[in-house]
Structure 1
């Protein structure tokens, strides 16, 4: 009589108890896809709304000091990436953003993990937010300047580059993806065993 083998003893992937079953036909895929879409749509909507408010109320205004100087609100139109990099390569940043959107859409077909759905939704929503600016704002398609409005600790990006809601979502989602990779949680909801390390 043979006893069932312990998958962790062999180092085989085991299901994360927080994730749904990854088999085709399980309810995990549509639920996780819905999570990704809802998170991305919420981030995109918040980003668009805050940019509209910034343009309406901060244009040609001095920085607004809030939270006792922890945050300053001011309108900055950024033709480059974060930290003032790639200022003359707006078209390339647009293509990169498009590539991120396409990559996440392709990955979503294997999505079974709630945590991955949230992380990818944050990155997708942020990418769509800044991509909207690249495509539709001045000075033209693929060359649009991104609207930023949050400067922390000091005005004019003296302490940290001015950013927006989309940037925050991308950084948060990216950090969560790094954590998921470090703990071994896979896109399909499986968790790599640490049996080899024991």
Structure 2
């Protein structure tokens, strides 16, 4: 017999995973940025893994690929909207995979939003600290890695038809392949002892 509390337990588990991924991603981003600002000089790249990965400190007023460098405040508003929408969607969260994706998305958005508010010139127009450079690729940071990884995970989950609540959206065929009581990503509600 499935307890009526099984769904809240699954939901709490997914929310705890989201929070853990968020905290780890955000902390990693902020710690690496603080280290880069203290240890690196702008315009003086250092090889980390040969010429494959270099450390190259820059301050980016725009988005990825230096897009919208004169519209930093627009990027700040977009980040705030993304965070709000993600938190709204997370209300239905019952999937571990979605918890990881949304946690990464929040970590990346909050990491770069923190720069917008607390780095010069501040007030929502601050420049984001970037320091990782691959050949023939724009310089990026840990927050960018979080956002791109989240986007890939979200696309994969959407392609597989897995909803935020862990169920498949593709209909009876998918439901027939799932074990009774399990969601599409394998979370089973806890059962009672009797």
Q: Please give the TM-score of this superposition, normalised by the length of structure 2.
A: 0.84
- Structure 2 residue 131 is the aligned partner of structure 1 residue 149: yes
For the residues of structure 2 that align with 1:168 and 1:193, how far apart are their CA atoms?
30
Q: How many residues of Structure 1 are paired with residues of Structure 2 in the alignment?
A: 172
For the residues of structure 1 that align with 2:162 and 2:7, how far apart are their CA atoms?
21
1:166 alignment partner in structure 2? 143
For the residues of structure 1 that align with 2:164 and 2:148, how far apart are their CA atoms?
19
1:4 alignment partner in structure 2? none
2:69 alignment partner in structure 1? 87
For the residues of structure 1 that align with 2:42 and 2:60, how far apart are their CA atoms?
15
1:184 alignment partner in structure 2? 161
Where does structure 1 lack aligned partners over 5 or more consecutive residues?
A: 1-20, 154-158
For the residues of structure 2 that align with 1:160 and 1:22, how far apart are their CA atoms?
51
For the residues of structure 2 that align with 1:126 and 1:22, how far apart are their CA atoms?
35
1:193 alignment partner in structure 2? 170
Query: Residues 190 and 23 (structure 1 numbering): CA distance in 2 closer, same or farther, change over 3 Å?
Result: farther
1:32 alignment partner in structure 2? 14
- Structure 2 residue 49 is the aligned partner of structure 1 residue 67: yes
Q: CA deviation at 1:193?
A: 3.4
Structure with the greater alpha carbon radius of gyration: 1
2:107 alignment partner in structure 1? 125
Give runs of ≥4 in structure 1 deviating > 2 Å: 21-26, 192-197
The Cα RMSD (Å) is: 2.0
For the residues of structure 1 that align with 2:4 and 2:92, how far apart are their CA atoms?
8
Structure 2 counterparts to residues 95-134 of structure 1, below 5 A: 95-134=77-116
Q: Please give the TM-score of this superposition, normalised by the length of structure 1.
A: 0.82
